Amino acid sequence: MVRFAIRRLGEAVLALASIAAAVFFLFHTIPLSPAAAMLYPHDSPQAIAQLNAKLGLNLPIPVQFVLWIKETLMRGGVGQVIVRDLPPTLEMLFLGAVLAFLLATMTALVQIRYQGRVQDRVLGAFTGLLSVVPGFWLGTLLLFLFSMTLVWFPGYGYPPPGHGFFAWLHAEVLPSTTLALTAMGPWARQLRASLEESGATDYVRTARAKGVPEGRIRGRHMFRNSVLPLITLTGLSLPTMLNTVIALEIIYTVPGAGSALIGALTSLSFAGATTVALVLAMVTVMGSVVADLTYGLVDPRITYR
């Protein structure tokens, strides 16, 4: 497993290097000049040229890329984003993923218990609806209902420092629940399909013939062999979940990496935007590595090569 982990980390580093180059050069395909936008309406050619020279935007793009890598890695650009902006994003992502996993598991187990009956059909329709509802729409709806109308939760997702754990948890309920609901639909449908497939296997039929209780069959035999596809789907869902987190940070005014990315794009700060995008890509890649390494913990029969 150690060899596999080292290889996966090496692949992750190569992937991040490729993403960094792609994101940097993609931002520089935008025709609008940051200097012109910053100086508007006093954007004389001389002033634009002076600001371009000051920011290094008059240099060839490969040279700008090298300088950006130096600024980002050697002078703490990535470190500043990780320390300052990333914690609220990771908190929402972690809480949302854990809650989505629990909701998807409970929903799928209830569906498979009442397979083919009304409960199964109703929950199937509910998870199908959640699979197509946009996260920003659901976040706006929950904000209107539970923050502006009922006033059960605050309309922000991150309380000021020093307000305590329960204040933080209270503020995280709405954004984390929104993220969980947007993710649990596909997860529950995947797990329900895997449980149904496991229920038709020989070892499950043998366990039922031996008189093993149905709850134990679903929990120990069926669920344990059906959770691996869900882990795979969780790793594949990270980019979509991060996109949803960015939208939710704007809706719930969470000062996270998503808000920092939108702020950098609004101000046409290419260096800042690429740095934040690189950090978010790092989270996605490392999440995929963690998902791969989790297989062995869930199923000891899996061997890494």
- Look at the alpha carbons of 279, 285, 289, 290 in this order and tell me if their dihedral is positive or negative: positive
Q: How confident is the model at residue 11 (pLDDT cuts 50, 70, 90)?
A: confident
Query: Is 192 part of any domain?
Result: yes
Residue 82 has pLDDT above 60, yes or no: yes
Residue 275, CA distances (Å) to 99, 259, 261, 278 in order = 29, 13, 9, 5
Contact 5, 241 (CB under 8 A): no
Q: Considering the domain boundaries, does residue 265 fall inside one?
A: no
Category of 268 on φ-ψ map: left (φ > 0), alpha (ψ -120 to 50) or beta? left
Residue 74 lies in a domain: no
Cβ burial of 93 (10 Å; 0-12, 13-18, 19+) is buried
The answer to whether residue 280 sits within a structural domain is no
Q: At what angle do helices 270-298 and 77-84 cross, to 10 degrees?
A: 70
Question: Residue type at 88?
Answer: P
Domain count, the chain: 1
Please write the tens of the pLDDT for every residue from 203-212. Answer: 777 877 877 7
- Tell me the pLDDT band of 278, cut-offs 50, 70 and 90: confident
The per-residue pLDDT for 239 is 84
Of residues 187 and 202, which shows the higher confidence score? Answer: 187
- Residue pLDDT, tens place only, 95-132: 999 999 999 989 988 888 888 889 889 999 999 999 88
Please indicate, yes or no, if residue 90 is contained in any of the structural domains.
Answer: yes
Residue 41: inside a domain: no
So what's the pLDDT on residue 99? 94
The pLDDT value recorded for residue 35 is 65
User: Is residue 229, in this structure, part of any structural domain at all?
Assistant: yes
Quote the CA–CA distance of 11 and 305 in Å, as a whole number: 15
Q: Is residue 285 part of a domain?
A: no
CATH number for the domain that contains residue 113: 1.10.3720.10
Domain that holds residue 205: 86-255
> Got the DSSP string for 194-205?
HHHHHHTSHHHH
pTM recorded for the entire structure:
0.80
Within the chain, how many helices (H) and strands (E) appear? 14, 0
Using CA atoms, how far residue 219 sits from 117, 120, 208, in Å, is 20, 18, 13
Q: SS3 of 305, please?
A: coil
Nearest-angstrom CA–CA distance, 19 and 289: 16
What is the gyration radius of the CA atoms in the chain, in angstroms?
24
- Would the pLDDT of 68 be above 90? no
pLDDT averaged over every residue in the chain: 80
Check if the beta carbon of residue 176 is closer than 8 Å to that of residue 199: no
Q: How far apart are CA 100 and CA 18, in angstroms?
A: 31
